[in-house]
Amino acid sequence: MQVDLRTPWWVGPVRIPTRLVLAPMAGVSVQAFRRQGRRFGAGLVCSEMVSCAGIEHRNERTLGYLRVGADEHPLAIQIFGSEPRTMAEAARMVEAAGADIVDINFGCPVKKVTKTGAGATLLEDPARATAIVSAVAGAVDIPVSVKMRRGLENGSRACLDVGPRLVEAGAATLTLHPRSARQMYTGEADHALTAELVERVGVPVVASGDVTSRARAQAVLATTGAAAVMVGRGAQGNPWALREILGEGDAAPSREEVAAELVLFVRETVRELGERRASGFLKKFYGWYLGRGRFPRPFKQELVQVATTEEVERRLLAAAPGAADLVERLEAEQPTGDEILLDMPISIYGGG
C-alpha cells in the first residue's frame, strides 16, 4: 500500500504539512539548510542540538545566534542535557525563540555527550529520562518530541521499554533511529523495532535511519505504521532527494541547478554565520553538492582550497554559466520576514 507523503499529520496542535522530516544534524542543520529543506518539501525541519548547560551558563564557545525565520515553520529546536531543571529552562528559551516543537535528544552516541549522562545514555536510565520529559513538558506550552536510538549496546531493546514511559511523561511524538549508540552509523537500521514501538505507543512515531529513496520510504512506512520518515545524511548537498522521496520528481538536477543551489546556500550561510565562520563551515558541503558525478573531482578539491566564499561563487558560476539566472530567480522567490534572534550558544558536539 502506497502512502502519500504529501498528506499532513499532527504533533499535538502543530500541523505538519508532509510526512517527511529533515533530521537534526550537528554541524549541518543551520538555518540555510533548514530553509532549503522546507523549499524542497520537508514538512518539519529541526535545528542541530543545543546544550542546555550552554544555555544556562553561557560557557560554550559561541558559534552564533540561533535564528528562527518566518519561512521555517513548523520548526523543532533540539536540546540535550541530563538535568531536568536545566532542560526545562532550556525548553522555555526554545519556546521564546519561536520554535513550534521542543525536541529532546536521547539518541546522540558521541562520547563527549554520553559521558555527561546525556544523549543515548538516558535510554539506560528510564527514571531520569522520564523526569526530563516531564520537566520539559511542564515548562512549555508547545509540544515535546523525543529522538531516540534503540539503546547503547547492539541488540538493545531499551527504546521499547522507555518509549511508552516518555509518552506518559508528556512526549507528543517519538522519533526512533533503530541503531545502537555503539553502531554509530554502521550496519543497517532495524525498523522491526520501529514497528514494535508504533504498537506500544499512542502518539505518532517518526522512522529514522536509511531512508534514502522514495522506495525505501514507502517500504518503511508500510512495514512499521510510522506516521512519517526522517531523512538526514541523504539530504546533505542533495535536497533533490527530498522531492524524489515525496514523489515530486526523479530527474537528476542539471549542473546549473546544482551550482545555483550551492551559490544560494553559500550566500545564506554567510548571512547567518559571517564570512569567517562560514568559509570553514561550508567546505564539507562542496563535496556533498558537487559529488555524485555532478562535477569533476579536481573542481571539488579546488573549491576547498579557495580563501573566500566570493571566490567560490565566482568559480561556480564560471563552471556553470547558466546558473546565474537560476540564482537570481531563487533569490527573488526567497520569502522575506522578521527573524527572532535568540542569544543562545549552539552545541559544538556531534549529533545523533
**Element (H or E) spanning 78, and its range?**
strand 75-80
**Element (H or E) spanning 221, and its range?**
helix 214-224
| Total residue length of the chain | 352
| The three three-digit cell numbers of residue 12, written as one number | 499535538
- Written as one letter, the residue type at 131 is A
Q: Which residues of 112-132 are buried (b: 16+ CB within 10 A; e: fewer)?
A: ebbebebbbbbbbbbebbbbb
Q: 50 phi and psi, to 5 degrees?
A: -115, 135
Would you say 245 and 229 are in contact if contact means Cβ atoms under 8 Å apart? yes
Would you say 117 and 127 are in contact if contact means Cβ atoms under 8 Å apart? no
For residue 33, give the 3-state DSSP assignment: helix
CA distance 224 to 230: 13
Which of 236, 257, 229 is CA-nearest to residue 33?
236
For residue 259, give the 3-state DSSP assignment: helix
Does the annotation count 46 as an active-site position? Answer: no
Catalytic option among 46, 52, 108, 159: 108
The DSSP letter of residue 182 is T
Which of 305, 303, 292, 228 is CA-nearest to residue 265?
303
Of the chain, the end-to-end C-alpha distance in Å amounts to: 30
- Written as one letter, the residue type at 47 is S
Residues annotated as part of the active site: 108
